[in-house]
Structure 1
Amino acid sequence: MVDIGIVGLDTSHAEAFADTLAGHPSTSLTAVWDGGAVRSESYTEEYCDTHGANRYDEPLEMADRVDAVMILTVDWDTHRELAVPFLERGVPTVIDKPIAGNLADIRELEAAAGGTPFFGGSAVPYHSAVRSADLESDDRTLYCVGYDDPFYYGVHLVDTVCRIVDSPWACVSPADDPGQTVNVVFTDGTYATLRLDSPEDENQFSFLSIGNRTTAVDVGSTPADMTDMYRAYIETVLDVVAGEIDPSERVFDAAALLLGVVAALEHDRPITPECRVLSEYAVDGAAFLEEYRPYY
């Protein structure tokens, strides 16, 4: 049995992952910490009672009692400070999307991970529609459409494209297309156009791959879609914890690309992984938390 600890109950993912873990024959949610940024004291107590988990006053107190932790706080500026101590203790660590709001945090997380299993980001790349689609081809161009906040929800497009391409990004530039749209060039020659603000009133993500063949994939937000994604996501977490796969390099690269996407839109200029604009750019997680909190 793989004992999982959850750090932060801010989002709906805490409930979704708890349900997924409970339905898996090899996992158990055994430890919980929450800082009260979004949820009430009574909510945390009820959550722990419902899922049979022990509550801890400090996150690191659970380090010797779990096989892995999932960092689920909505304020991405807390991810580094919460995750690094676990990583340095050799505890496999998963960080929910978005990984971090600045490049320095990404690099510190990367350094702390070292040989410790690390995973995180969006669950959309693990939806069965994406996993089963024939998206591999030569001389490929990708067109992707998402919705809502370009950072908090744009991560779903970025992480999915990075998993499909599986090659580092080289440059991201604002596109001449309508809306919040960027063009991304990857080192293997793949081109991707990402429109982050769909004009349609549909909560879905769409991916079109054009190369030797053309393939289209849509990922919705129905309960069935969520269950599909989270089950595959947790399976991937278990593979990472067991050391069977190591997607950390791609996860960190996607986190840097997400920053590059919003930096390109804000500064209206091309962004590369090494440019000074990216190294100095930051997306404010605390400000997003203030906008997010009233909904819960």
Structure 2
Amino acid sequence: MTLRVGILGFSEGNGHPFSFSAIVNGYDDTAFARVGWDGIHAYLRARKADEFGVGDVRITQCWMPDLKMAQALAAACRIDTICQAPEEMIGAVDAVMILRDDADSHWSLAEPFLKAGLPVFIDKPLCVRRDELDLFEPYLRSGQLMSCSGLRYAGETDGWRRAPDQFGELRLIRASVPIDWPRYGIHMLECAMGALGVRPVAVQRHAVAHGSVAVRLEDHSLLLIDALGATPTPFSLQVFGALGNAEVQIRDNFTAFRRTIINFVELVRTGKPVIAPEDTLLVIRTLIAGVEAEPGGAEVLVRP
């Protein structure tokens, strides 16, 4: 039986409704060429036909505040139904994915679906306020809600995930991303925690022109994340340990996103968290500590 998923978007600069939908449903090449997401279109065209699709999952409904954009998404990604309001999906889908990274919209969009008992995936960052995290927490713990950066599942870090002790005692993890700490710093928090199992305990912001955040880790090593604004910055991660060092640049969004979808489908089918709730809570509490920290100021502890 088809597992029906609804997609909610869109936020400025975030093409995830298009990429995630295409990975599941496939895409119409001509229609996709018209939507303006040339980078996404290029990496979709580079994949083989048998890499598309996730079992019997189908994106069947979509909603966006801009009807023309919703129509473009539906045409490009072969989605049957465009909803006039998000709540129209209740009763018509088995799960929803909220694919926009403006965290302030997440609770209001998710609440009707969570209260209706539907499984929900929310794009990063889940939230940047403690009061909203308190609202989301019961749903994370119950296995109804999943939220993460796709880079938690980045293929480029598979070797680290399989042998996290290969570096010996960690000394430094250094990362760069474009844009800002709340929306993009989370990529490297999630990537480092997912691949290396590190645990943040405190955050300090540097008094520099870009978003530079030092995350003190439980093992007394340091995770340094530089969010360099609207620049052509690679998603880069370097690890330095007592036994060696390594660097990756994360470019394969397709694999990371497809794995994210597969894991969400597992949650939908089992009703159990696929990421330990404490891990997601730790990611978001670290993110919030970085938002609360004053540039050049004292450390902010990562706390409930």
Matched, 1:67 2:94: yes
The corresponding residue for 1:158 is 189
C-alpha contact (below 8 Å) 1:87/1:116 kept by paired residues: no
Q: Which moved more, 1:113-122 or 1:227-236?
A: 113-122
Distance verdict in 2 for CA 1:112–1:267, change over 3 Å? farther
Distance 1:166 1:63, change over 3 A: farther
Task: Report the 3-state secondary structure (helix = DSSP H, G, I; strand = E; otherwise coil) of the residue aligned with 1:153.
Answer: helix
CA distance in 2, matches of 1:272, 1:261: 9
Query: How far apart, in 2, do the equivalents of 1:190 and 1:94 lie?
Result: 33
CA distance in 1, matches of 2:244, 2:279: 25
Q: Is the 8 A contact 1:95 1:119 kept in 2?
A: yes
Q: Does 1:250 align with 2:276?
A: no
When residues 158 and 151 of structure 1 are mapped into structure 2, their CA distance, relative to the original with a 3 A threshold, is same
**Count, aligned residues:** 267
Q: Distance in 2 between matches of 1:12 and 1:143?
A: 26
Query: Amino acid of the residue matched to residue 73 of structure 2?
Result: Y
Alignment match, 1:271: 300
2:60 aligned to which of 30, 33, 41: 30
The CA distance in 2 between the partners of 1:30 and 1:190, in whole Å, is 47
Change (3 A) 1:29 1:207: same
1:183-198 alignment, distance < 5 Å: 183-187=214-218, 189=219, 191-198=221-228
Match of 2:174 in 1: 143
Asked if 1:43 corresponds to 2:69, the answer is yes
Percentage of identical aligned residues: 20
Select 2:258's aligned residue among 187, 212, 231. Answer: 231
Structure 1 residue 204: Cα displacement: 1.5
Q: Give, in angstroms, the shift of residue 226 of structure 1.
A: 2.0
Specify whether residues 9 and 200 from structure 1 end up closer, same or farther in structure 2 by C-alpha distance, changes over 3 A only.
closer
Task: Return closer, same or farther for 1:271/1:193 CA change in 2, 3 Å cut-off.
Answer: same
- Asked whether the equivalents of residues 99 and 123 of structure 2 are also in contact (C-alpha less than 8 Å), the reply is yes
**Which moved further from structure 2: 178-187 or 150-159?**
178-187
Q: 1:196 to 1:183 in 2, by over 3 A?
A: same
**Map of 1:20 onto structure 2:** 23
Q: Give the match's secondary structure for 2:113.
A: helix
Distance 1:59 1:18 in 2: 17
Aligned to 2:289: 260
In structure 2, the CA distance between the partners of 1:178 and 1:79, relative to structure 1 (3 Å rule), is closer
Can you give the 5+ residue segments of structure 2 that lack an aligned partner in the other structure? Answer: 26-51
Change (3 A) 1:195 1:235: same
Which digits, 9 at most, give the CA deviation of each residue in 1:210-260, with x for residues without a partner? 335334232344xxx222221222122222223365313312321121121
SS at match of 1:5: strand
TM, length-normalised to structure 1 = 0.78
Alignment partner, residue 53 of structure 1: 80
- Over residues 172-227 of structure 1, what are the superposed CA-to-partner deviations in whole Å (9 max), with x where a residue is unaligned? 1235999643332334x252322323599643222222335334232344xxx222
Task: Tell whether the 8 Å contact from 2:264 to 2:274 is kept in structure 1 after alignment.
Answer: no
The match for 2:116 is 89
Distance 1:169 1:252 in 2: 11
